[in-house]
Every structure is written in structure tokens, then in C-alpha cells.
Amino acid sequence: NSNRERERERRFIYMNKYSSKAVKTAATVGMSLAMVLSAATPVVRIRKRDFTDGHTDYILCIKGKGKLARQEIEKELTKDEFEALESLLPIPMLHKDYRVFALEDGHQLECNLVDGKFAYAEVEFDSIEEAKAFVMPQFLHKDVTEDPYYSMSGYWKRKQITVSFEL
């Protein structure tokens, strides 16, 4: 994503950890993710992405209102800035295993496994029209784009409640 961009994506549930129906792996990223200040609107997150080539990047991400389409602003952080923000978190950061697969129609399927238990996939698009016209591959289970339960904000809220009960 550029520094200031509109994000257009649909979200799906998939049955296998990483579907064997996808054509090839385009990238592998281990990602630590946290919503820092708010799980409401706007959503504010910090991300630490560890790439398979050994480099790490640190990102501040702010997402506006919306499911299918929303404003997204990203800013690179230094490691020190990231660690300072991370120290403000009320609970440990989430861990996201992230894999990208090429679909037969040319789109990329981004498969995510959060904390080893919350799995979903996303496909990003250049326009809302393209997103609405996309035909979900049969190996995906269900389109949950508009279901807040399957959003990262929804997962973060559930995790905060669970951790607070454990403390």
C-alpha cells in the first residue's frame, strides 16, 4: 500500500490451514500485529513484519470506517518507535502467519492464521466494482466481508476480554 490509499478487499473463511487449491506461493511473511489505540473507528495498528529474506519492517496503520472499502494510511516506523508503541499495549501482540497464493484468475489470495486459531483469507482489488464481481473459488468456505466477527478488530476485542479474565 502507498502512504495514503483506499483499501478494497473481501474476506473469506477457508477450510484447510493453507489451501492446496491455490496455484503457487508468492510470498511468506511472519507478522506480529497489534491494534494499539483503538479497535473502533479509526482502527490504529502497529505491525512488525519479518520476511523470509531476513529483513523486518515496522508499520503504523490507520484504517477508516468500512468493510469492503475503506481509507488506509500507513507510515513506516523505526524499530525504536515501534517498541515504544508496543510498550503501551494492554495485552501481548497478536501473531499472524501470512501466506500469499496466486489464484487462477490472477488475483492473490492472502491467507492469515492469527495466534494459531483464527483463520481467514482476503483478496484485494483495484476497484469496488471488481471486488463485487469477484467469484469466490469453490475451495473457500464462506464470504464474511460484512461480518464484524471475522474482522481483526473483532478478534482483538475478543482477545482483550479473554486475557482480562485470565489475569
Instruction: Provide the pLDDT confidence category of residue 38 given band limits of 50, 70 and 90.
Output: low
Q: pTM higher than 0.85 for the full model?
A: no
Q: How far is CA 64 from CA 30, 76, 97, 139, 146, in A?
A: 25, 18, 24, 30, 15
Residue 112 has pLDDT above 90, yes or no: no
pLDDT digits (tens, 9 = 90+) for 16-33: 544 444 434 444 455 555
Rounded CA gap, 155 and 128, in Å? 25
pLDDT digits (tens, 9 = 90+) for 50-102: 877 788 889 998 888 888 999 999 999 999 999 999 888 877 888 888 888 88
Rounded CA gap, 16 and 144, in Å? 16
Instruction: Provide the pLDDT confidence category of residue 12 given band limits of 50, 70 and 90.
Output: confident
Give the phi and the psi of residue 68 in degrees, each rounded to 5.
-70, -40
pLDDT for position 39: 52
pLDDT for position 90: 78
Strand, coil or helix: 35 = strand
Rounded CA gap, 165 and 46, in Å? 24
